[in-house]
Chain A
Amino acid sequence: MSAPAPLVTGPGEPCELLLRDVRALDPRAGIDARLDVRIGGGRVLELAEPGSLEPTGEVEVIECSGRLLATPAFFDPHVHLRTPGQEHKEDLETGTRAAAAGGFCGVIAMPNTDPVLDSAPLLRSLRDAAAREARVPVGFLPAITRGLQGEQLSEMAELRTEGALGFSDDGKPVRSAGMLRKALQYQRLCGGVLALHEEDPTLSRGGSMNEGVVSAALGIAGIPTVAESTMLARDAALAGYEDARVHFQHLSCRASVAAVASAKEQGWRVSAEVSPHHLLLTEEDVRGLDTRMKMHPPLCTHDDRLALLEGLRDGTIDCVATDHAPHARDEKEVPFEQAPMGTTGLETAFAALYDGLVLPGSIELPLLLLRMTAGGELFGLAPPTLSAGEPANVALIDLDARWVAGEHGWESRSENCCFGGRALQGRVLVTVAAGALAHRDRSLAMAGSR
């Protein structure tokens, strides 16, 4: 029996596109030049000297005048599409539309749905739905333990034959070390990366934000950073002992970066991700009790933020992941402690990081692009590239465009974005995902295309 393709591609038809005189930048493939780029039949067909390619047939031409940037589209290994069961927050169509608007050519959906994605029939039906509705390819991580209860392994081997990319109990830690160890051992049979949400519930219990100066001033129960870092260190040691492959989700603090670095030094097979909000915001942003700033793990201190940034630059942290977590308006429009955890992030990820980190010189653009495209590789997928002959996964970006996040509403069904209302520079105009036109900014028809 041959396993199905790990990513489910939606119904989009291959597009015919000619990007004329675009600044092509693909650090992984060593491309950095002004070029004409022809896309068609699902692939990048040709890269040539600017002005040398002519349109043929029904091709859409975008005049980029050396000003617009073409890069491999991004990949997000951590999103919540809320389907099944919470479609009032998001569904496969709106979630992948948000991904496309943010320049992503693929996402991996988490299993904390209702019911929990922990069985082969449910995975099959979700994959069928994604094939009908998804704007960009979607992969699924079913639960490590049944019902996310931490008591019994899900049928991991069968789930793998049905296309599970890996496994995660995201939203919850695998509390028992013994249970996680069984999953790590079972990985030898079925493969699949285990993506881990690290949080010791006996330390985080009842907390709504980072424990520290701000939580003390507000009287809100705090979550200490050791709730994450101690559990992470435990699980890294388990993975090392079993020679298993694990991925640490949404790092939030300096101690966790250090724990990942030490695990990598030992040669253990671990990888890690960080979210745009943890790279850009701190507990000070929680002072106003804006419920969009309430997420898990919580925003920590300025020092933690700097450590995350350093970890992203030196490769301790492998990739950026948004942890896109949509919640309905009425669920977030409540007192802070009552509000659910999470912020949306797909539509603002690149702009927030470009505006907040690249422009002030905290990180080079090519390195940011590497980290925003690396998420799929960690789960065994080919990285997106601009190389001729490869599948077309391309983001066309106007680095000079200024906009206010959310000014024209959101593609996501939810609007709980921690960057909402911020003035940002850098905007994704076009996303080609698996060869299909997944997103075209409304301004583009006026601005340059023919």
Chain B
Amino acid sequence: MNHLLSIEELDREAIERIVSQAERFAEVSDREIKKVPALRGRMVLNLFYEASTRTRSSFELAAKRLSADVVNFAASGSSVEKGESLKDTVLTLSAHKPDAIVLRTPWVGAAELVSRWCSAAIVNAGDGKHEHPTQALLDVYTLRRRLGSIDGASIWIVGDVAHSRVARSNVLAFQRMGAKVTIVGPPTLIPRGFEHLGCDVRYTLDELDSADVVYALRMQHERMSETWVPSMREYAAWYQINGRRLSPRQILMHPGPVNRGVELSGEVVDSPQAVITAQVEAGVVVRMAVLYELLAGPREPRAAVAAASAERATVGGSRA
């Protein structure tokens, strides 16, 4: 594997390899000195075009536990605010010869684009509303620890699907691991054609009982430029996961940060069914496994830098 750009390009075997590696790293987090020298001398660059505390710190922690050097580059307060293009920023930072770039942007396909411009391994930490592959991997990891296997499990993903890269990556990852996925949300927040990803689409929580796992999505106020539901009050009345709706045998997940009182009621966040903090914990070991997968061992030769300037006729290029 040269890059981690999407779940779409991973098969079940690759997902299992990463998750199993993460299970081996879990032991490191329990040591007194939480560090192994696996990636000593490697450099990981965190390039974040969107605000993110938990994903970025999770990647930073993962890299440091593997003894890699970490540089954080946030778009705000940098040359990006002076109008530098994504390509110029990436080429500039590439001059420092990072071994991996962890990239988050508000733009679909940006990670893949960047992978064509530089020789570092690219980890997609979220590209617009497209994918967030490490989130899906850590969710698979968390569920495997709880359930042993995801095969045949019924997983309901509830909420704002339209603005969620987590939904897209998780539908693909859960299905690849053998689960049956159902998407639930207000019709205005479920993109037309979403059922073609292979999941069921519903508009009510009526049969929530049948779910083994309830995965609530965050209502993304920050990504909404217009009103998609009449009010948060009405949304909560129809789609909030609360003590009345959640049964004791179900597992409750959420990618965070939680809007208490909107998609989840306070009592379920603190309930024994919730594995939300376990997900955060899984984030570090899964990201360790991803970095290890990409950077450890002999590096395969990668496409040369700036292939872009050579190929005149391919503006925008096409996917290899």
Contacts and interface: CB of A to CB of B under 8 A. Distances in A.
Interface stretch (A121-129, A156-164, A334-342, A345-353): A334-342
Contacts of B192: 211-212, 215-216, 222, 224
Contact of A213 (B108, B196, B319): B196
A289 interface: yes
Nearest to A328: B315
A421 B193 contact: no
Contact of A291 (B127, B196, B312, B315): B315
Interface stretch (B64-72, B128-136, B266-274, B278-286): B128-136
Contacts of B319: 287-290
Interface stretch (B18-26, B36-44, B109-117, B232-240): B109-117
Interface in A337-388: 337-339
A212 B193 contact: yes
B113 A332 contact: no
Interface in A169-227: 205-206, 211-222, 224
Contacts of B87: 330, 333-334
Contacts of B127: 335
B313 A289 contact: no
A220 B314 contact: no
Nearest to B316: A291
Contacts, number: 108
A338 B314 CA distance: 17
Contact of B108 (A211, A290, A336, A406): A336
Given A219-B129, A290-B317, A416-B315, A336 B109 contact: yes
Interface in A218-265: 218-222, 224
A219 B168 contact: yes
Nearest to B167: A219
Given A218-B130, A329-B315, A335 B193 contact: no
B94 to A, nearest CB: 16
B197 interface: yes
Interface residues of A, number: 39
A144 to B, nearest CB: 28
Q: Is the interface of B mostly helix, strand, loop or mixed?
A: loop
Interface string B98-120: 00000001011110110000000
B69 to A, nearest CB: 28
B168 to A, nearest CB: 5
A222 B108 CA distance: 13
A415 B108 contact: no
Contacts of A205: 226
B191 interface: yes
A292 interface: yes
A420 interface: yes
Contact of B191 (A215, A289, A332, A407): A215
Contact of B107 (A293, A336, A407): A336
Interface string A399-418: 00000001101000001100
Nearest to A414: B315
Contacts of A218: 108-109, 130
A20 B168 CA distance: 62
A289 B196 contact: no
B316 A290 contact: yes
A333 B318 contact: no
A205 B226 CA distance: 10
Interface in B156-210: 165, 168, 191-194, 196-197
A290 B308 contact: no
A156 B113 CA distance: 45
A336 B108 CA distance: 7
6 contacts: A214-B193, A218-B130, A288-B318, A290-B319, A335-B107, A415-B315
Interface of B: 85-87, 105, 107-110, 112-113, 127-131, 165, 168, 191-194, 196-197, 225-226, 308, 312-319
Given A290-B319, A416-B316, 18 more contacts: A216-B193, A217-B193, A219-B129, A219-B191, A220-B108, A222-B191, A222-B192, A224-B192, A287-B319, A291-B315, A330-B87, A333-B85, A334-B107, A335-B105, A335-B109, A336-B109, A339-B316, A416-B315
